[in-house]
Amino acid sequence: MVGSNWPGLDPEWSRTILVKSTSAVDAPGTMRRWHLLDNAAQLSRRGLVPKGTLLCVHGNPTWSYLWRRLLAAGSDPAHPWRVIAVDQLDMGYSERTGTFRRLGDRINDLGDLTDALGVDGPVVTVGHDWGGVVSLGWALAHPQHLAGVVLTNTAVHQPVGSKIPPALRLALHPAVHGWGTTTTDAFLRVTHALARPPLPSEIRRAYMAPYRGADRRAGVGNFVADIPVDASHPSFRTLSDVAEGVRGLKVPALMLWGPRDPIFSDRYLKDLIGRFPHAEVHRFEGAGHLVAEDRDIATPLFEWLAGHTSRSDSPTAEPAPRAGQGQAAESEPSGFRPLWDLLGEQAASQSGGDTAITEMAPDGTPTRSLSWRQLDRNIFDLAAGLREAGVGSGSRVSLMVPPGVDLTVALYACLRLGAVVVVADAGLGTKGLSRAVKGATPDFLIGIDKALAAARVLGWPGRRISVRDLPPAVGRALGVETSLAALARSGAELGTECPMPNVDPSAPAAVLFTSGSTGPAKGVLYTHLQLAAMRDTVAKTFGIFPGARLVAGFAPFALLGPALGAVSVTPAMDVTAPRTLTARALADAAAAIDATVVFASPAALRNVLATRDGLSEVGHRALQRVELLLSAGAPVPEPLLAEVQRLLPRATLHTPYGMTEALPVTDVSLEEIQAADAEAAAGTVAGAGNGVCVGRPVHGARVAVVPLAADGTAPGTHPVTDAGVTGEILVSAPHVKEAYDRLWLTQRGSSSLPGWHRTGDVGHFDAAGRLWVEGRLAHVVTAPGAVVTPVGPEQAIERLACVRLAAITGVGPAGTQAVVAVVETLPPARKAGPAAPQLAGRVRSAALEAGVEVSAVLVVPAQPTDIRHNAKIDRTRLSRWASRVLAGGRPGEP
């Protein structure tokens, strides 16, 4: 039986039971010996009454050991649950029956076991791999006991026309199957190798233990052979019945997924979400097939259980409503105006023939323009064509098109249809972009040639649509079905025969990916109502109304322009690399539309200033007519703004603070920044200083902080606005995101205070009610006896003439971290490493003036920054590099 020395397994859980089989493959009256891990006796000995039962079913070729952490968690007095982790017959330490047991038999077997154990409700099934299908089969057969469903990497359906995963095709090949699954232990070793990070040797031995010897592995081979590859397979009908039957399960559901799974990839997760639209989903980025080994799934699982048992002794029968999934539209505020409303008004007005959107060529000349009527017509025609092609309400459409006419038309056409646009730009890099697209699992992918080639090579999901008409051979090579041009032509032929549907304000509208500067990029889900609220907030905060003329050097604002009723143009630049914006390109774009508003990131503004000598007199005049400049994406230093002011003398300069999850949150002008900095220097306003002043909340927003604790976390539950109290910044506004897409655990953390979004930034208010940002919560340094936020000392160091950029980071264990300053010097250092003694002394003195004692000073030729904004310093990366250098390693590049 089970050895007592396997890590994490309590011998008290192990038990065997004889069960009378009712399976058709067994003779009447046959008794089968089952092995299972069961904490019922342990709970009873401890005097704990379980809230219910978790019925855990492993897949192939694991065994009940997979669920050991759930057994330990279920035995905790804080949340007692009976956990039954079975070894399926012919698997683990259960009996080797000598029979070929198919899917239907295994579902029946599990029912025999639970009957013998006297299991009744509430039961939450937990399944992995093919154990997921078996557990769902049991759930359908026992609705009277079922209270919830938990799934980890599994599948219940093979899409028609698609092949099963290559690894399974290989395992099923006649030349490989017997040898790979039974004669040798190759299948087991390959499966164990899928763990990320690799399994420790003692864990691998535990998984191998029940399968030593070919006679112990017959079930492994039979499990593989029972995979229904097509409709002719004996188990196909059973699998299909389970796949369709689960659509009727209305109990709470949770899916915990490892995306790096060569077997059960995100396409199977997408299918399961379609069958459980109410499910909570969390993808553990970087985890793979053995997600229960790769990540802690016990904590989120029991948090989820607690959320569904908080009002009763058992999980709720009905899942809580979620946006876009059953909430009535009439529950939303009256007067909702969809994102395209002003665009339509402009098209129908007397100015409908005026220019709405313009594109710029690299040489600075306009190449394509549309009037408001043309833009509205093009959107309608494309929407009609997309609808005929199968795009509908809820369809996910990945847009991989540079800002301009094509992207604007495609985006608004999709929104008009109720489709969900997925926007992840190339600034994430190939790896980050691929991760984002695969995670979002779009149904359609609209892209330029380069994006379509990447989709082909990297295996991105979605039916492919090109922007332009392609030669047939090229289209076939890229897997392209049609083009935007062709769809627009077909839509124009339909005319008014294809009316646009009414869109539910609470329905999902967009998934926008974060920059990835603080970890893997996250998909942020917005509803139509929230997008419309974003438009209204921007309009009322900055006074951007119909008639404004906007130069958008930042992709989100290029898309928001038509929604504001503003004429818009994107300058000739690579919007995925803001530092490519030149002064000439900015001036050319401004001149093309006689711009009144400019939006550009700090990195873009730096390059504009660096290239201003190339401006012509016409270019200078165009910039002098600009009335408003907005810059965001990273803190904007006051000296940079002051220089920009000289280039745009008539403009009011504003630096809104926000994030992908809430854009914008606060706003401040250059004059307000200068006044705040002066008050901080003079000490006339309590709380002023030690950070970047980002002003006051924008229209419709509330902002507060949760105070930091001594360990650098923000565990409190009471938001405050008291001056001088540093804490995690919270925001509440109609335009705050709906959720993180398929990141339930992340969403749970960000919304742990009802009505508030936890931004992950830290800061404080001053006595005048202005917010000062001090950095990221993840970058707080916990030195002995002090909690150090990075921005204040960084600003002090950057005031040195020899320093261009500074970063404060921590090295060592939490609570005893050394404070390290990493500086990029002027002129740049030739190589990275410890700073010269004179520079180190000056940096230490500057930081000390900000109240921070620096332990070490390092230099780098250039600070590592995020790809999208070219401005956010990657302090986490610097921390790893500094740790290596201070430990005596070769400096290299951070």
Say whether the peptide bond before residue 715 is cis (omega within 30 degrees of 0): no
Distance between CA 173 and CA 627 in Å, rounded? 69
Note the pLDDT of residue 326.
32
Residue that is written with structure tokens 């279920």 in the block: 74
Q: Which CATH class is domain 543-655?
A: alpha beta
Distance between CA 534 and CA 663 in Å, rounded? 7
User: Is residue 472 helix, strand or coil?
Assistant: helix
| Residue range 535-556, pLDDT digits in tens | 999 999 999 999 999 999 877 7
Note the pLDDT of residue 328.
33
Q: Which residues of the chain have pLDDT under 50?
A: 310-314, 317-332, 869-870
Distance between CA 205 and CA 195 in Å, rounded? 14
Note the pLDDT of residue 799.
92
CB 503 within 8 A of CB 528: yes
User: Is residue 684 helix, strand or coil?
Assistant: coil
Note the pLDDT of residue 579.
85
| Residue range 247-258, pLDDT digits in tens | 999 999 999 999
Closest to 401 in 3D by CA, of 382, 384, 417, 416:
382
What is the H or E stretch that residue 497 is in?
Answer: none
CB 564 within 8 A of CB 519: no
CATH of region 371-503: 3.40.50.980
Distance between CA 599 and CA 876 in Å, rounded? 29
CB 77 within 8 A of CB 57: no
Chain centroid to Cα 210, Å, comes to 38
Distance between CA 592 and CA 604 in Å, rounded? 19
Distance between CA 302 and CA 284 in Å, rounded? 16
771 C-beta neighbours (distance < 10 Å), count: 26
Pairing of the two strands 420-423 and 396-400 = parallel
Distance between CA 94 and CA 101 in Å, rounded? 14
829 C-beta neighbours (distance < 10 Å), count: 18
Superfamily of domain 780-886: ANL, C-terminal domain (3.30.300.30)
Residue that is written with structure tokens 């936890």 in the block: 758
CB 182 within 8 A of CB 213: no
Farthest-apart Cα atoms in the chain, separation: 97
Closest to 632 in 3D by CA, of 600, 594, 608:
600
In terms of residues, how long is the chain? 894
C-alpha gyration radius of the chain: 30
Note the pLDDT of residue 893.
77
Closest to 820 in 3D by CA, of 772, 861, 859:
859
**CATH number 3.50.50.60 given to 665-735+745-777:** no
Distance between CA 103 and CA 227 in Å, rounded? 9
Domain covering 11-309: architecture = 3-Layer(aba) Sandwich (3.40)
DSSP 818-833: EEEEEEEESSPPSS-E
The domain segmentation of the chain, as residue ranges, is: 11-309, 371-503, 543-655, 665-735+745-777, 780-886
Residue 558's contacts (CB-CB under 8 Å, 6 or more residues apart) are: 403, 404, 407, 408, 552, 568, 570, 575
Closest to 222 in 3D by CA, of 98, 131, 128, 126:
98
Alpha helices in 395-447 (DSSP H): 405-417, 429-440
Note the pLDDT of residue 321.
40
Domains 11-309 and 543-655 alike in fold: yes
Burial-class residue 891 by CB neighbours within 10 Å (0-12, 13-18, 19+): middle
